[in-house]
A and B are shown apart, each in its own frame.
Chain A
Amino acid sequence: MAIVRIPPVLRPSTGGAKEVDAAGGDVGTVLHSLAEAHPDTQSQLFAEGGELNRYVNVYLNDEDVRVLGGLDTAVGDGDIVVILPAMAGG
C-alpha cells in the first residue's frame, strides 16, 4: 500500500481525508485505485484519454514523477505519493 497525500482542493472528493491508502505497484495504478475508491477524483486527476491531467503534479516521495518514469514509476510499500496542485491564494 502506498500513502497518497490529498491536496485541499481534492479533499471534498475524499470525504475530507488528507491521506488515503491506495494499492498499486506503480504510480498510475495507485492513482487509479484512489479514483476507484473516491470516484469524484477521477475527472480531476485524469483526462478523458486516461492520461494524467497536465495541471496535476505528482511526486513519488520528494521527486516529480515527470523526471522519473511518469505513471509507470514503480511504487513500493509505504512510499508516499503527493498530488500537488498549484495554489494562488495570497
Chain B
Amino acid sequence: MSPSGAEFIRQIKTQIAEVDPADVHAALNDGDGNGTVTIVDVRESDEIAQGHLPGAKLVPRGYLESRIEGAVPDRSQHVVVYCASGNRSALAAKTLAELGYEHVESMTGGITLWKDRGYKVDVPRKITAEQRERYSRHMLVPEIGAEGQYKLLDAKVLLLGAGGLGSPTALYLAAAGVGTIGIVDDDVVDLSNLQRQVIHTTDRIGTPKVDSAEITMKALNPDVNVVKYETRIDASNIMEIIEGYDVIVDGVDNFPTRYLLNDATVRLKIPVVSASILGFDGQLSVFSPYEGPCYRCLYPVPPPAELAPSCGANGVLGVLPGTMGLLQATEVVKLIVGAGEPLIGRLLLYEALGATFTELKVRRDPECAICSRPPDEISEDEMGVFPDYEAFCAAAG
C-alpha cells in the first residue's frame, strides 16, 4: 500500500540531514559570514514576499531542478534549504542530494521556527503583480533576478542626446525598467532623423525630441519617470543637470561636449557609457572615473576640424546607431545590476561592412590633464577646456 503524504515526508526526513535554526543562525553570523553556507528558500513567491532569511537565494521548489544550478553552481557548497515549516525543504534537500549536491541540510521548523526564535528576517521590497509580470524575464536570469530589477527600478540614468544612439538606448532602458531616465536634447524631430532615430515617428516631425522620446517611452513602460532637459548641455548647466545620476550615456554628436562631459563626470565620479558612430564604424567604451581611464586618457587631444566630421551632416548606416546604442544600453544595465565585466579600460570597435569587432586596451594616463588629479582639484575654469570651441565646429562645417 502506498504511504500517506505525511508518512512519505517522514520517510524522506530519515534520508536527509536536518539542521536546527540556531545552528543556521550561528553559521550566518560566524566570522565574516561570507561563503560558508548558502541558504536557499524553496517557498512560493507570495510567501517569500512576507519575508525571508537574510541573504537567502530564492528558488521555489517547483523550479528547483531547473534553477538551482544558477543559484548554487558549486555542488560541493554547504547548502541549507528551508520552507515554512520544514516539510517542503526536506523534499527539496532529497532532490538536491540526487542532483549531486554533497552537503545539503533542511532547516527544521522552517522560517516559522526561525521567527519564533526572534531571528532577523528580510522583507523584500514590494512590487506590483504587473511589475512582476513585466520584468519576469529579468527576474529569471540569475545575474539580474529580483534584486537586480529593484536596482534598475531605483536607478537614474541620463541620456545625452535623443538621436541615433539615444533612441535605442532610451527604448531599451525604458523597457528594462530603469526608474528615472533623463534626456538632454534641444532639437526637434526632422524627417531626415527617422532613418535611424527609431524612438520618433513621422507624425511627430517638428516636435521637440525630448517630448517625442517621452511619448514612446511612457507608452512602452509607464513605470519610467522621464526627466526632460530641452536644452544644449554646456559649461554653464552641466553640473546642475548631471549631478545625482548614477550612469550617463554619451551619444552626443560633437567633440566639445564630449570633453566637457568627461571633465564634469570625472569631477563627480559618474561613469559614462560612451559610443560614437560614423559611416559604418562604431566605437564603444565605459569611462569609470578613477577606476579606469577617462575620455582624455584615450584621446588627450581632439583631432583638427577637417579630420573630425562630427558637427555637420554626415552619412551613417541607419542600423549602426541601433547596434552601438544597444551595446551602450547593455553596459548600462550591467553597471547598474553589477553583473559581468563592464567595458572599462577597453575600447570596442565595430566595423559593419566587414562585420568585425576589434578590442583595444585603454590605459589610464598618469599624466592625464583631468583624471590624474583628485576630483576636488578640477576647477570650473578647467572643465571642458577645448581648443577654440566655436571655430572648431564652424571649420568642420
Contact = CB atoms under 8 A, between A and B. Distances in A.
Interface of A: 5, 7-9, 18, 44, 54-57, 59, 62-64, 67, 82, 84-90
Q: How many of chain B's residues touch chain A, expressed as a range?
A: 35 or more
Given A8-B278, A89-B276, A64 B303 contact: no
B281 to A, nearest CB: 5
Interface string B275-318: 11111110100000000000000111111100111110010100
Given A62-B361, A87-B276, A87-B278, A55 B307 contact: yes
Interface stretch (B9-17, B157-165, B201-209, B232-240): B157-165
B227 interface: no
A85 B363 CA distance: 16
Contacts of B109: none
A85 B300 CA distance: 11
Contacts of B361: 62-64
B302 A90 contact: no
- Among B163, B280, B316, B349, chain A packs the most CB atoms within 10 A around the CB of B349
Contacts of A59: 360
B299 A55 contact: yes
A55 to B, nearest CB: 4
B302 A55 contact: yes
B351 interface: yes
Interface string B149-163: 000000000000101
Given A9-B307, A44-B307, A87 B360 contact: no
B360 A88 contact: no
B35 interface: no
B278 A86 contact: no
Nearest to B354: A18
B362 A64 contact: yes
Interface string B348-392: 010101100011111100000000000000000000000000000
B110 interface: no
A51 B281 CA distance: 27
A82 B359 CA distance: 11
Contact of A55 (B161, B281, B303, B309): B303
Interface in B188-219: none
B360 A55 contact: no
Given A9-B278, A89-B276, 15 more contacts: A8-B280, A18-B354, A55-B302, A55-B304, A56-B303, A82-B360, A85-B308, A86-B302, A87-B278, A88-B252, A89-B277, A89-B278, A89-B309, A89-B316, A90-B275
B253 interface: yes
A85 B305 CA distance: 12
